[in-house]
Amino acid sequence: MNLAHLGTPIRPMVRVHGGFANRLYRLDTDLGSFAVKELSLGLVDRPVSDVFRFERAAFAAGIPMPEPISAGSRTLVHRWVEGEKVPEEPVPAAYAFEIGEILARLHALSVSWPGVVVSEPAPRDWASLAARATATGQPWAGELVSSVTTFLALAEFVDACERPGPAVLTHRDIQPWNLLSRAGRPVVLDWELSGLLDLSGELGSTALSLAKGPGFDDIRPAIFRAVLDGYVAGGGTLPPFGPSWFAYLVGGWLGFTRWNILRCLAGIEAGTGPELALSHESVRNGLRGLPDLFARLPALGTLLWC
What's phi and psi for 77, nearest 5 deg? -120, 130
Angstrom distance (rounded) from CA 88 to CA 138: 27
Are β-strands 14-16 and 32-38 bridged in parallel, bridged antiparallel, or unpaired? unpaired
Span 197-245, pLDDT tens digits: 999 999 999 999 999 998 898 999 999 999 999 999 999 999 999 999 9
Q: Are 211 and 223 in contact (CB under 8 A)?
A: yes
Mean pLDDT of the chain: 93
- Strand ranges (DSSP E) for 56-138? 68-71, 75-79, 84-85
Residue 60 CB contacts under 8 Å (≥ 6 apart), including other chains:
none
Span 52-75, pLDDT tens digits: 999 999 999 999 999 999 999 889
The fraction of the chain above a pLDDT of 70, given in percent, is 96
Residue 79: CB atoms within 10 Å: 16
Q: Are 169 and 54 in contact (CB under 8 A)?
A: yes
Q: Does residue 247 surpass a pLDDT of 90?
A: yes
Q: Does residue 93 surpass a pLDDT of 70?
A: yes
What is the pLDDT averaged over residues 106-131?
A: 89
Where residue 132 falls among pLDDT bands split at 50, 70, 90? very high
Supply the Cα-derived Rg of the chain in whole angstroms.
19
User: Within 13 Å of residue 136, how many CA atoms lie on the same side as its CB?
Assistant: 16
Report the phi/psi class of residue 160: left, alpha or beta, with left for phi > 0 and alpha for psi in -120 to 50: alpha
Angstrom distance (rounded) from CA 223 to CA 210: 7
